[in-house]
Amino acid sequence: MAELKSDSITAPHTAPLTIRAARQAITNGETSAVALADSYYATIAAEDPKIHAWLALSRERAAAQAHRIDDLARSGELASQGETLPLAGVPIGIKDVLVMQGAPATAGSKILEGYRPPYDATAVARLAAAGAVLLGKLNCDEFAMGSSNENSAYGPVHNPRALDRVPGGSSGGSAAAVAANMAVATLGTDTGGSIRQPASFCGVVGLLPTYGRVSRYGLIAFASSLDRVGPFTHTVEDAAILLGVLAGPDPMDATSAQQPVPDYAAALEAPVKGLRIGVPDEYFAEGLDAEIRAAVEKTADALRAAGCTLHKVSLPHTLYAVATYYVLATAEASSNLARFDGVRYGLRADEATSLSSMYRKTRDQGFGKEVKRRILLGTYVLSAGYYDAYYRKAQQVRALLTRDFLDAFSHVDAILTPTTPSRAFRLGEKTDDPLAMYLADIYTVTANLAGICGISVPCGNSAEGLPIGAQILGKHFDEATILRLAHAVEQSQR
């Protein structure tokens, strides 16, 4: 792997290993799952000191999983288990807001220091059941609250494409690990853009499933009505394969949908000709970087050349999306984070003299500045006298935003937008300006509020070599269509 220089932008790694290629190489005896895992751990050892994507490595569990796959390969059984073990031997990393046996779960926070969960999140368990080799846990903004991965209690993540830049947040470690070829794929979470924005900044594919498509059981909650689990990958096909493994109802999650799971990978082969693509003016307004605008317009031209038709659509309540999101998300965070008090697990302040002082001191020492800010905001909007003015009003605006999308999808099959208004910004550039940081989510929070699916796919680079992502938004539970369109975009880049 080429050396990454801290003061320069680096070219993306050539020919990264895909899920299909990794599995086939193990099945054919060209390599072993153990050797493949060892090669990724060697890359992590060489590259991660500069990037800081990983918080913990689960070598013992990964070795056991890899040996199991190699035993099946040697016996000849692996070749016949393509459907039951689609991820056989594939090295995958897990964002540290998803619990996983054999590794700590910190959610990027000091308050969970030392906590080792006794069970797997459903998404993690499904990867393991499909044969994946789980390499370890990935850095993230504390409790997934952030747009730059600078809020982690364990230090920021650096963008592999430009080490002086942020990788995006909150799933910055997950995006960076794929971009730096330290994993074939990773899991992230997205509450307001935390998969799609880092995918755009790091030049990889990031998929946001429909709310309820993937179980949230075992996810350390930020905002329960907004949180989603989804993959980062090198290719759209890999995202489709992973979604096929992750999707489906779960009796441990009452919000998981009782919806059939199609063969997403097979759906990629269907032509996109005749699909109607909406282009909303609200996402191409003032404040959009000129190079991003040009790249997304070029993407629209590529889809038109593939036989799609483009149509103007209006999402008028987009103007209120960021404000609505930061009322609702902070309100839910205030409630969800009340459980972290030093009583049951994680950090406990030693110098407390009473129960109430133990609560206060533990939470003051354990939570970082951004988490405290959001707890205070959420507590305020839920408080007596302000609930109707803020929280209830935000729920009403959320309904209007959802209606905007439903109206648009009555005329088009998908919507094309930029993923982000700017390219990856420099580390420290926005840390003193929370509002500027929050506005980085302006094009992504709407999908979380409306519950729809979305994907960010690389669509070019800026003049200085920074990645640019195009966002494709789809109807509820229509991931197959946005994957097909993203695949067409991907093909047009080659």
Residues labelled catalytic: 95, 170, 194
Rounded Cα distance between 471 and 113, Å, is 36
- Name the nearest CA neighbour of 166 among 179, 182, 147: 147
Q: Return the structure tokens found at 237.
A: 């096909």
The 10 Å CB-count burial string (b at 16+, else e) for 59-82 is eebbbebbebbbebbeeeebeeee
- Cα 484 versus chain centre, distance: 19
Residue 53 three-state SS: coil
Secondary structure element (H or E) that encloses residue 364, with its range: helix 355-366
Q: Under a CB-based contact definition with an 8 Å cutoff, are residues 139 and 157 in contact? A: yes
Phi then psi for residue 218, to 5 deg, are 90, 5
Cα→Cα distances 377→85, 243, 391, 455, Å: 45, 34, 11, 29
Q: Return the structure tokens found at 90.
A: 């594939």
The 10 Å CB-count burial string (b at 16+, else e) for 109-130 is bbbbeebebeebbbbbbbbbeb
For residue 212, is it left (φ>0), alpha (ψ between -120 and 50) or beta? left
Q: Which residue has the tokens 């959420």?
A: 378
Strands 309-313 and 228-233: unpaired
The residues facing 134 across adjacent strands are: 92
For residue 451, is it left (φ>0), alpha (ψ between -120 and 50) or beta? left
Neighbours of 31 (CB within 10 A): 16
Angle between helices 290-305 and 479-492 (to 10 degrees): 100
Q: Return the structure tokens found at 451.
A: 């519950």
Cα→Cα distances 86→80, 239, 455, Å: 11, 13, 22
3-state helix, strand, coil in the chain (%, to 5): 45, 15, 40
DSSP category for residue 330: H
